[in-house]
Amino acid sequence: MATSQESSPGLLDRLSTMFDNLIKVTTTKAPIGKTPRQAIWTLNKATLYRYTPVKPPEERHRVPLLLIFALMNKSSILDLRPGNSFVEYMVGKGYDVYLLDWGVPGAEDAQMSLDDYVLEYIPRAVRKLKSVSGSDTFNLLGWCIGAMLSTLYASLRGHSEGLKSLILLTAPLDFTDTEQISLARMTDERYFDVDRVLQAFGNMPAGLIDYGAKMLKPVENFVGGYVRLLDNLDNPKVVESWHAMNTWVNDAIPLAGAAYRQFIVDFYRGNKLIKGTLAIRGEKVDLANLRASLLNVIAEDDHITPPCQSARLLDKVGSADKHELRVPGGHIGVMAGSGASKGTWPQVESWIAARSE
């Protein structure tokens, strides 16, 4: 009896510590996006960053690498935390790495369209990158909607502006198989009035985008992550990883209204890029004009951008050097999960390396 009474305070202390740690991890932000960098150009809310090289000039790849992420999430996912950062990995491999960060659109940006991002922001950032790097050519890596924007840019301007190679990660380009695309069914015009939503909010609120994505796998997104955290509270590595990812996931940003409307009407509903009817500021977007070396990375378990949305791309582009890479993992885990540093990253890096000299 005495032993049981003596052990109770110890158990209560451990439970108290556990819940204190749980509250701390779930209510505070983790330090993410910490690889040293300098802002070298800005336009409205967007900023072009250059990451501080760690290799001497003679040991760096000659062709710089530009990274572009989605419009409705912060780009810090590419530089999540030390030891699990694609940016840190590539800088360590001797690349001159640049990141075009879109920033956070305000109410005054509601009329910004995909046309603005593709024909104003990316070309200007590219000119600055080439000026700073001294290179006439560059490599471009786009992820998610960043891959869509990169594809449009590559088709319209890439050949004339020195794009050497293009790496697309989970690119939402083909909306033919709508039954396999959960977000297409969710935003079907029978159920979703995009104009009414934008009339009410101006920009598409971050919360609506986030909850829409989470509802694709509600149990996993609303419960599963917390269960795994509770099961691993005594494992510092797991807690640190969960804390960083949770910080990024819950720091989403709104999407400029006009761009969001194009995304829904021209892509999800109209499938105009694949049909060959998409125009950006009056210019027809022809994938056959995409001639840069192309690596199309498809995440096998992606429920946000299912493989069918990227699988037919190689048949459409004009690139002579084109490859498809299928890797295990989901939409985010494929590049930011625990296995990315030994799986996706080395394969992507080796492909870029062969085209960066």
> Stretch 23-37: mean pLDDT, rounded?
84
Could you give the residue ranges of the DSSP H alpha helices within 107-205? Answer: 114-116, 122-133, 145-153, 182-186, 194-201
* CA angle, residues 328, 234, 83, in degrees to nearest 5: 45
Catalytic residue among 79, 144, 210, 243: 144
Instruction: Collapse the DSSP code of 234 into the 3-class scheme (helix H, G, I; strand E, B; otherwise coil) and give the result.
Output: coil
Q: Sort residue 15 into left (φ over 0), alpha (ψ -120 to 50) or beta.
A: alpha
For the stretch 142-186, pLDDT in tens is 999 999 999 999 999 999 999 999 999 999 999 999 888 988 898
Mean pLDDT of the chain: 92
How much is the pLDDT for 236? 83
Higher pLDDT, 154 or 31: 154
Q: Which residue has the tokens 């950006």?
A: 280
Token couple for 58: 């003679």
The secondary structure element, H or E, covering residue 23 is helix 2-27
pLDDT at residue 220 tops 80: no
Q: What is the mean pLDDT of the segment spanning 192-212?
A: 94
Which homologous superfamily does the CATH classification assign to the domain defined by 32-353?
Alpha/Beta hydrolase fold, catalytic domain (3.40.50.1820)
Region 40-67: mean pLDDT is: 97
| pLDDT > 70: percent of the chain | 94
22 or 126: whose pLDDT is higher?
126
Q: What is the pLDDT of residues 225-272, one digit of tens each?
A: 778 887 888 888 888 888 888 888 888 899 999 999 999 999 999 999
pLDDT score of 280 more than 70: yes
Q: Is the pLDDT of residue 31 over 90?
A: no
* 331 annotated active-site: yes
In the 8-state DSSP scheme, what is residue 204? B
pLDDT value at residue 250: 84
- Domain residue spans in the chain? 32-353
pLDDT of amino acid 1: 41
What is the value of pTM for the model shown? 0.91
Q: What is the pLDDT of residue 117?
A: 98
* 2 pLDDT higher than 70: no
Assess whether 308 carries a catalytic annotation: no
pLDDT of residue 8: 66
In this structure, which long-range contacts are made by residues 233-241, counting pairs with CB atoms below 8 Å and at least 24 apart in sequence?
Answer: 233/18, 233/21, 233/22, 239/21, 239/25, 240/30, 240/81, 241/81, 241/84, 241/338
Task: Tell me whether residue 302 is one of the annotated catalytic residues.
Answer: yes
pLDDT at 222: 73
